[in-house]
Amino acid sequence: MGYGCCGTIMSCSTAPITNRNQVTFFPESVINSQAASAYAAFKKKAKLSEDKETLKLIEDIGSKMKIAISTYFSSKKLNDPTKDYNWEYILVDDDKTLNAWCMPGGKIAVYTGILKVTKNVNGLANVMGHEIAHAVAKHSVERASASLALNVGTTVADIFLGGAIGRTRNTVGRTTGVDILQVGIFNPFTRTQETEADYLGLAFCSMTGYDLYEGIELWKRMKEFNKGKEPPQFLSTHPSSENRISQIRSWIPTIRKNFPKIDNI
Q: Given candidates 66, 138, 169, 238, which one binds Zn ion under the rule CB under 5 A?
A: 238
Q: How far is the CB of 198 from Zn ion (least distance, A)?
A: 8
Q: Are 131 and 234 in contact (CB under 8 A)?
A: no
Cβ nearer to Zn ion, comparing 89 with 219: 219
**Using an 8 Å Cβ cutoff, are 108 and 89 in contact?**
yes
Instruction: Give me the least distance between CB of 107 and Zn ion, in Å please.
Output: 16
- Contacts for 191 with CB less than 8 Å, ≥ 6 apart: 239, 241
Helix (H, G, I), strand (E, B) or coil at 257: helix
Nearer to Zn ion, 238 or 244 (CB): 238
Instruction: Establish whether 131 is a catalytic residue.
Output: yes
Query: Of the two residues 17 and 262, which places its CB atom closer to Zn ion in the complex?
Result: 17
User: In whole angstroms, what is the distance from residue 222 CA to residue 234 CA?
Assistant: 9
Shortest separation between residue 194's beta carbon and Zn ion, angstroms: 5
Select the residue interacting with Zn ion from 197, 222, 245, 255 (CB under 5 A).
197
Sheet order of strands, 107-111 included: 88-92, 107-111, 100-103
Element housing 16 (H / E): none
Catalytic residue selected from 88, 131, 214, 217: 131
Give residue number: closest CB to Zn ion. 238
Question: Smallest distance from the beta carbon of 64 to Zn ion, in angstroms?
Answer: 20
How far is residue 159's CA from residue 110's CA, in Å, rounded to a whole number?
A: 37
Strands 12-14, 88-92: pairing kind: unpaired
Nearest approach, Cβ of residue 165 and Zn ion (Å)? 27
| E runs forming strands in 53-141 | 88-92, 100-103, 107-111
What mask of x and - would describe binding to Zn ion in positions 152 to 191, judged by CB under 5 A? Answer: ----------------------------------------
Size, binding site for Zn ion by CB under 5 A: 3
Contact between 139 and Zn ion by CB under 5 A: the answer reads no
Catalytic residues: 131
Residues binding Zn ion (CB under 5 A):
194, 197, 238
